[in-house]
Amino acid sequence: MTQDLRLTVAAELDRARARTTLLTDAVDDSDLVRQHSPLMSPLVWDLAHVGNQEELWLVRDVGGREPVRRDIDELYDAFKHPRRNRPALPLLNPAEARAYVGQVRDKALDVLDRVRLTDRPLVADGFAFGMIVQHEQQHDETMLATHQLRAGAPVLEAPAPPAARVPVSGEVLIPGGPFTMGTDTEPWALDNERPAHRVDVPAFFIDAAPVTNAEYAAFIADGGYDEPRWWSERGWAHRREAGLTAPMHWKRDGDGWAYTRFGRTGRVVPDEPVVHVCFFEAEAYATWAGRRLPTEAEWEKAARHDPATGRSRRFPWGDDPPGPEHANLGQRHLAPAPAGAYPRGASPLGVHQLIGDVWEWTSSGFHGYPGFRVFPYAEYSQVFFGGDYRVLRGGSFGTDAAACRGTFRNWDHPIRRQIFSGFRCARDAGTDVG
């Protein structure tokens, strides 16, 4: 069993590094060191940062080895340097960064070969290694978002997502009652996903699929960005200050809309989930539609609750890991898939595409669950509790399966839309719509 776990960990580390290499080798050194948006780090910072985190946790802490580069720890501390300031730092150049992450990985794999994966909670079930896998995959998604903000010729390639296989529209009733939220059993779950706890959720309706481009375009056409009544006070102030008139990367194209995605411009696809909208835009659309955003607990109940057994699944389709038949994950495609593209990934009650495609805004702020305990460090979750954040769920086409499950929680400021964010709507059971 231990050897099987070592092989699994090694394969996941290798898979994450292959993706990092793809994203950083796709551009030349001048693009690696350039800041493509003040919202994002230079790609070369992300590259060395994932190596530095791997060194801190796997080489020094788990392995008890001597530091590889203690002198760069402060440069790659995300809390000490805002993204907009990172280009001015004396960062490792591309060749140095590549050499550094390679040296760290060799030492980390040596630690993996030698450490007992039962000695302490940090390494039990390979947790520390899984944490680093997830960290690198999360930065890979961040680097993918940087590629989306990059100007210039396309450098990334991927096949188009599958076409819709079944018609999906309307709402699904989620019966009221308790369900188990969070987890005590997922071995690589992060501290904010724990502990499992019972939550009583009243009956509600939730959209069977994320809101599509066509549906969102109807909101725009109806003057949605011009009517303060659809927006919260904060949302309307932000809409005016930021000059929002449509989702990020949308441009008028005759009587419709075009979208620039990873350097290629084409017409907006009507049945794809809308992406690159902030929380305030999602909230305004939901109000215009006579609905609201789901709470985080509602979203998780829709994604995990099995009404036939009363248990909470790992994923909407069951406990099996995500495959290409279930969800659009892992940069397999460079766009969300149309509504109805993954019928085998639907929940027992018929809610589709809860995993992958687009991160989904919820109405909930980010906080710890009852009984929350910091593990293994406060800076992963606890320091963000109670701030100006909204929780997003479900992952996107840029999220890897290693960093996505029914309990996984993401969070961001409500103004952010460079992330691969969309949403679906909900409403209380028994209320009328429109």
Average pLDDT over residues 98-126: 95
Q: Is 85 annotated as a binding residue?
A: yes
Residue 259, SS3?
A: strand
Percent with pLDDT over 70 in the chain: 99
Residue appearing with tokens 């691969």: 420
Q: Is 84 left (phi over 0), alpha (psi -120 to 50) or beta?
A: alpha
Handedness of CA 294, 299, 301, 305 (dihedral sign): positive
The pLDDT score that the predictor gives to residue 332 is 98
The pLDDT score that the predictor gives to residue 190 is 98
Query: CB-based contacts of 173: which residues, under 8 Å, 6+ apart?
Result: 203, 204, 205, 349, 429
Q: Is 367 annotated as a binding residue?
A: no
- Of the candidate ranges 43-52, 336-345, 395-404, 424-433, the one whose mean pLDDT is the lowest: 424-433
48-65 pLDDT, tens digit per residue, is: 999 999 999 999 999 999
As assigned by CATH, the class of the 2-149 domain is mainly alpha
pLDDT reading at 434 higher than 80: no
* Start-end of CATH 1.20.120 domains in the chain: 2-149
Q: How far is CA 6 from CA 13, 64, 410, in A?
A: 11, 18, 28
Q: Which CATH number fits domain 159-434: 3.90.1580.10, 3.30.413.10, 3.40.50.2300, 3.40.50.300?
A: 3.90.1580.10
CB 425, CB 210: distance < 8 Å: no
- Per-residue pLDDT band at 433 (split at 50, 70, 90): very low
Q: Is 83 annotated as a binding residue?
A: yes
Token couple for 131: 């944490």
Q: Is 412 annotated as a binding residue?
A: yes
208-264 pLDDT, tens digit per residue, is: 999 999 999 999 999 999 999 999 999 999 999 999 999 999 999 999 999 999 999
The DSSP bridge partners found for residue 422 are: 360
Average pLDDT over residues 275-290: 98
pLDDT reading at 118 higher than 90: no
* Start-end of CATH 3.90.1580.10 domains in the chain: 159-434
Q: Is 84 annotated as a binding residue?
A: yes
The pLDDT score that the predictor gives to residue 2 is 82
321-361 pLDDT, tens digit per residue, is: 999 999 999 999 999 999 999 999 999 999 999 999 999 99
How far apart (Å, rounded) are the C-alpha atoms in residues 131 and 53?
Answer: 10
Token couple for 100: 């550094």
Average pLDDT over residues 7-33: 98
Nearest CA-CA partner of 141 in 413, 409, 401: 401
The pLDDT score that the predictor gives to residue 34 is 97
Average pLDDT over residues 3-13: 96
Overall pTM > 0.95 = yes
pLDDT reading at 431 higher than 90: no
Q: Is 213 annotated as a binding residue?
A: no
Token couple for 405: 């499950």
Query: CB-based contacts of 293: which residues, under 8 Å, 6+ apart?
Result: 282, 283, 286, 361, 362, 363, 423, 425, 426
The pLDDT score that the predictor gives to residue 119 is 77
Q: Is 333 annotated as a binding residue?
A: no
Average pLDDT over residues 401-422: 98
Q: Is 49 annotated as a binding residue?
A: yes
Tell me the Cα Rg of the chain. 21
Average pLDDT over residues 126-148: 98
The pLDDT score that the predictor gives to residue 58 is 98
292-312 pLDDT, tens digit per residue, is: 999 999 999 999 999 999 999
**What mean pLDDT, rounded, does the chain reach?**
96
How far apart (Å, rounded) are the C-alpha atoms in residues 198 and 98?
Answer: 46
